[in-house]
Chains A and B, each alone.
Chain A
Amino acid sequence: MAIVFEKSKVLTDVNTHYCPGCTHGIIHRLIAESIEELNLQERTIGVAPVGCAVFAYNYFNCDMQQASHGRAPAVATGIKRALPDSIVFTYQGDGDLASIGTAEIVHAAARGEKITVIFVNNAIYGMTGGQMAPTTLPGQVTTTSPYGRDVAHCGYPVKISEMLSTLDGANYIERVSVNNVKNVNAAKKAIKKAFQYQADGKGFSLIEVLSTCPTNWGVSPVEAIEWLEQNMLPYYPLGVYKDKEGEKV
């Protein structure tokens, strides 16, 4: 029988620990396929965060480093400066990147650090059990905002793509989503472009991927996709926020 689909060789042959219906698995696959299609596997060093993706070093079949919470862009900077010909990416969630790691991500972008950042935004802390994240929506119930996020008390969500796109050092910033086939394909295109830019020696790229967390949102996987569409897409509009190369065209 003809083989019509194979798992990317840039993913290891192990089961992930992700919950059923979580979209981390899709995002992992898009990254692995991009690295494989661009033939970058032997040059790539990935940096895993703290959070749900803490074990990402078990899943990507390339050299990996595990960073402390929020520091992945600094770790990636150290790797890239030591090995300028390598391809370095970070995989970070919203607690890691948009809360404890804001200084590191802002300055990596400002420096135009030649790395690729995959920022997974699911509006909640997953690994620790569903606490409020910097990206938790106004009114959203979490274990530390049990009455719904009260913006008068704890402020507003951080819009990372919008914020970082104001920095001159950032090369390419796009927000994508993996809620349906069309958007998954668009996400793949963006992720692959971000790796291509790095391979071409272009500066800092960040792809923000809107993702679901059925477990901590307390809904089924199908309902989670619907919740993302109804609540996250309006608050976090998809699109290209910055593309220096695209601007030149």
Chain B
Amino acid sequence: MEKQLMKGNEAIAEAAIAAGCRLFFGYPITPQNQIPEYMSKRMPKLGGCFLQAESEVAAINMVYGAAGAGARVMTSSSSPGISLKQEGISYIAGAELPAVIVNIVRGGPGLGGIQPAQSDYFQSTKGGGHGDYRLIVLAPASVQEAADLTYSAFDLADKYRIPVLILGDGMIGQMMEPVSLPTPKEPTSANKPWATNGAKGRERTIVNSLYIDPVELEQVNLRLQSRYDTIQKNEVLCEEYLMDDAEIMLAAYGTTARIVKKAISELRKKGIKAGLMRPITLWPFPAEQMSKYADKVKAVLTVEMSLGQMVEDVRLAINGKVPVEFYGRTGGMVPTWKEIAAKVENMCGGAK
């Protein structure tokens, strides 16, 4: 398919349409506004529905209703708006509904700023709302990957009846790159016998997350956990870059991983054998993939646009076998390759 020059936000929207999504509920917030704007143009022409909700809280509950009715449905927001959606996300997880949620992350906490950040890692991967639940969290590092991951997010959501979060930083949302869009699929609500779409010729269905009997609620949680175990086993995605001979492992995701790649190529010119482990699924986290290098490398450096969130998962994966250091910028500041390279050189005791 021929390539088009698109913003990450637009590519995410078009990829969702290609995946058969015909319902979008959102609320304006920078830096993700191109997603609802794009949907507001496209959906009426496709017989779909774009609706600007009165709040992020309403938008995520519209997603709950539409997902429960068997539709492929998406919402998008940015950090403060995603915080507002957490109630609904917990209910969607509890009611075992498939839905896709996009977070184009900006600096926080509070109103924070509007520049790119990765400081919502904890919220995304450790349970942003209440209860024992998980989201599949996908972290694209290019516009192409943003499109591809959004497209596959709908299949993952349907397969496991789980909300899937696309976690892109503001840079991914705003930058333009050539992208080859995925093949369009027709919308279908087939294979969703649990959906509430009118009890005609069948028993009634109920979409619900309330289990007042603790014996039953524990069983529901155990059942969900076993599904999460399957996801952990089958759905981990991770890019390994120049790891074969690496003595220093860098760990980074999203935009930061691209900056890290530039740092690695400069470090290698100086004789420092650095490589990159880039988680594409932040949950399930590629812990096994990382841990197999724990005996091979001398040290690990995690780089994030935060003050250290994913680094905790990297440390768990490395399990104390080698030092795991951290370098990050935050509040909307983006690390440069020079800063990262300097940190690695410092860890190695200077250039070789």
Contact = CB atoms under 8 A, between A and B. Distances in A.
Chains A and B form a bound pair: yes
Interface of A: 41-45, 47, 54-55, 57, 61-68, 71, 74-83, 86, 103-104, 106-107
Interface in B9-39: 23, 25
B174 to A, nearest CB: 29
A75 B55 contact: no
A79 B65 contact: yes
B199 interface: yes
Nearest to B92: A68
Nearest to B87: A68
Given A66-B210, A74-B64, A81-B51, 6 more contacts: A63-B199, A77-B65, A78-B63, A79-B66, A82-B66, A107-B53
Interface stretch (B151-159, B200-208, B236-244, B292-300): B200-208
Given A81-B51, A103-B58, A62 B199 contact: yes
B58 A71 contact: yes
Interface residues of B, number: 39
The winner among A74, A76, A107 for most chain B CB atoms within 10 A is: A74
B199 A42 contact: yes
Contact of B66 (A44, A55, A81): A81
Given A81-B66, A104-B58, A63 B208 contact: no
Given A42-B198, A44-B198, A78 B204 contact: no
A83 B69 CA distance: 7
Interface in B148-202: 196-201
A64 B61 contact: no
A86 B197 CA distance: 7
B305 to A, nearest CB: 32
B69 A78 contact: yes
Interface of B: 23, 25, 49, 51, 53-55, 57-59, 61-71, 73, 87-88, 91, 95, 196-201, 204-210
A43 B198 CA distance: 5
The winner among A77, A80, A107 for most chain B CB atoms within 10 A is: A77
A79 B205 CA distance: 14
B82 to A, nearest CB: 16
Contacts of B67: 78
Contacts of A75: 61-62, 64-65, 68
Contacts of A64: 196, 204-208
Contact of A45 (B71, B95, B196, B210): B196
The winner among B51, B61, B68, B210 for most chain A CB atoms within 10 A is: B61
B62 A81 contact: yes
B207 A65 contact: yes
The winner among B64, B67, B205 for most chain A CB atoms within 10 A is: B64
A54 B210 contact: yes
A4 B70 CA distance: 40
